[in-house]
């Protein structure tokens, strides 16, 4: 749903893979035994992945394409490593965009579609602990738990680390040391290494998980990055005599470069582990309206299902969704605020409907007017 992904606690999600894909079966990374989700689905192309994302994520077309190609390439590399013993050169991903633009939702939807174990974590929580390595181990343990203990499946899973921009270095601030230390701690697992897992009770026999095939996706708002990019236009020397040259130059200058991220506050070694970068943009009014109405699990459809269970037809006029979108834009939290406004709208109605079985239809024509009830 549009507001999937909350900050704070580490979270996992269910994985129902594409036709014939079993979330609990598959290969480990590196030399890897087993098969990737693409092994039995040769027609699962980047375009097919984007078509699936379109069912749940509104807009962000460029980011969808970048993410689809990256995950497709990663799975093919896993398959090549398994079949031909080709060393895996992993390309982790960085998603840059304001809060509420769909970063977590996109990753969750992708993992569900491919049937891959998936877990999210918050970089700020990692920065606040004295035992960073233990927290990283706990994230990988949860990934293994979500794979039902199948080590091979966990070793081809996805880890999404949100608010990675909060790890930026700030001169003279104690938190900077903590944030930079977390970046250093993440380097090893993002590159690929064996990590010892002690289990939940700490007494079970130790297991080792190979992170070389685990795809790490980092996300963050990166407030202030645009100003850095504007000052760091490093491709101005390219000839721009023709229209095509000008287009190429504009595209190059629109890219987020590693030097931009270093100036922002990430260490060079960390930015080097995130070669694939996709940008998500603020959602406008039309996009917010579409989020509430178009996806197969949209807020409107979910709410209609609740009312239908009571034998009541719920009708909300388009004007209402526009009014909700306007409020969400004022809150500046993207799609995250839509659910709260929507729930506030229907709560008074749903409070009385179950006790009045004679009600057959409820129509809402404005966010600032009472509903019309038909009995």
pLDDT of 34 above 70: no
Distance CA 181, CA 166 (A): 12
Whole-structure pTM value: 0.79
Q: Please, which pLDDT band fits residue 10 given cuts at 50, 70 and 90?
A: very low
pLDDT of 36 above 60: no
- The stretch 257-284 carries a mean pLDDT of 92
What is the C-alpha radius of gyration for the chain, rounded to an integer number of angstroms?
Answer: 23
Tell how strand 313-316 and strand 361-364 pair up.
parallel
For residue 365, the model assigns a pLDDT of 94
Q: Please, which pLDDT band fits residue 12 given cuts at 50, 70 and 90?
A: very low
For residue range 199-250, what is the model confidence (pLDDT) as tens digits? 655 566 778 999 999 999 999 999 999 888 888 765 555 555 555 565 666 6
Crossing angle between the packed helical segments 338-352 and 318-331, to the nearest 10 degrees: 130
For residue 256, the model assigns a pLDDT of 87
The per-residue pLDDT of the chain, averaged, comes to 82
Q: Please, which pLDDT band fits residue 3 given cuts at 50, 70 and 90?
A: very low
Q: Please, which pLDDT band fits residue 46 given cuts at 50, 70 and 90?
A: very high
Q: What share of the chain in percent tops pLDDT 70?
A: 79
3-state secondary structure the chain: CCCCCCCCCCEECCCCCCCCCCCCCCCCCCCCCCCCCCCCCCCCCHHHHHHHHHHHCCCCHHHHHHHHHHHHHHHHHHHHHHHHCCCCCCCCEEEECCCCCCHHHHHHHHHHHHCCCEEEEEHHHHHCCCCHHHHHHHHHHHHHHHCCCCHHHHCCCEEEEECHHHHCCCCCCHHHHHHHHHHHHHHHHHHCCEEEECCCCCCCCCEEEEHHHCEEEEEECCCCHHHHHHHCCCCCCCCCCCHHHHHHHHHHHHCCCHHHHHHHCCCHHHHHCCCEEEECCCCCHHHHHHHHHCCCCCHHHHHHHHHHHCCCEEEECHHHHHHHHHHHHHHCCHHHHHHHHHHHHHHHHHHHHHHCCCCCEEEECCCCCCCEEEC
CATH 1.10.8.60 fits 285-374, yes or no: yes
Q: Which two tokens stand for residue 37?
A: 């989700």
pLDDT of 22 above 60: no
- The stretch 182-193 carries a mean pLDDT of 90
pLDDT of 276 above 80: yes
Tell how strand 11-12 and strand 118-122 pair up.
antiparallel
Q: Give the residue extent of every domain in the chain.
A: 11-279, 285-374
For residue 207, the model assigns a pLDDT of 86
Q: Please, which pLDDT band fits residue 288 given cuts at 50, 70 and 90?
A: very high
For residue range 64-109, what is the model confidence (pLDDT) as tens digits? 999 999 999 999 888 888 888 777 788 999 999 998 899 999 999 9
Superfamily of domain 11-279: P-loop containing nucleotide triphosphate hydrolases (3.40.50.300)
């Amino acid at each position: 749903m549009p507001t999937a992904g909350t900050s704070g606690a580490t979270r996992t999600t269910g994985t129902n893979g594409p036709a014939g894909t079993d979330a609990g079966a598959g290969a480990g990374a590196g030399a890897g035994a087993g098969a990737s989700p693409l092994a039995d689905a040769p027609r699962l192309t980047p375009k097919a992945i984007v078509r699936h994302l379109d069912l749940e994520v509104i807009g962000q077309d460029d980011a969808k394409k970048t993410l689809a190609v990256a995950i497709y390439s990663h799975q093919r590399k896993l398959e090549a490593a398994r079949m031909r013993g080709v060393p895996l050169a992993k390309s982790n991903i960085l998603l840059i965009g304001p809060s509420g633009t769909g970063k977590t939702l996109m990753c969750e939807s992708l993992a569900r579609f491919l049937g891959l174990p998936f877990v999210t974590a918050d970089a700020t929580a990692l920065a606040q602990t004295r035992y960073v390595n233990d927290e990283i181990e706990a994230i990988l343990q949860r990934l293994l738990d979500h794979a039902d203990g199948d080590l091979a499946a966990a070793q081809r899973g996805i880890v999404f680390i949100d608010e990675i921009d909060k790890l930026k270095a700030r001169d003279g601030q104690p938190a900077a040391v903590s944030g930079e230390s977390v970046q250093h701690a993440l380097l090893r697992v993002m590159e690929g290494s064996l990590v010892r897992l002690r289990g939940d009770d700490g007494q079970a026999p130790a297991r080792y998980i190979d992170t070389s095939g685990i795809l790490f996706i980092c996300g963050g708002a990166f407030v202030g990055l645009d100003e850095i990019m504007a000052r760091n236009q490093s491709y101005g020397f390219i000839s721009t005599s023709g229209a095509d040259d000008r287009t190429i130059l504009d595209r190059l200058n629109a890219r987020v470069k590693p030097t931009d991220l270093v100036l922002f506050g990430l260490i060079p070694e960390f930015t080097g582990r995130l070669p694939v970068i996709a940008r998500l943009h603020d959602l406008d009014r039309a996009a917010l309206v579409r989020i509430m109405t178009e996806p197969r699990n949209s807020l409107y459809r979910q709410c209609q299902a609740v009312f239908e269970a009571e034998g009541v037809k719920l009708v909300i006029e388009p004007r209402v969704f526009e009014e909700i979108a306007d409020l969400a834009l004022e809150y500046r939290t993207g799609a995250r605020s839509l659910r709260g406004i929507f729930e506030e709208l229907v709560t008074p109605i749903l409070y009385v409907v179950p006790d009045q079985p004679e009600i057959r239809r409820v129509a809402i024509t404005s966010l600032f007017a009472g509903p019309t009830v038909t009995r």
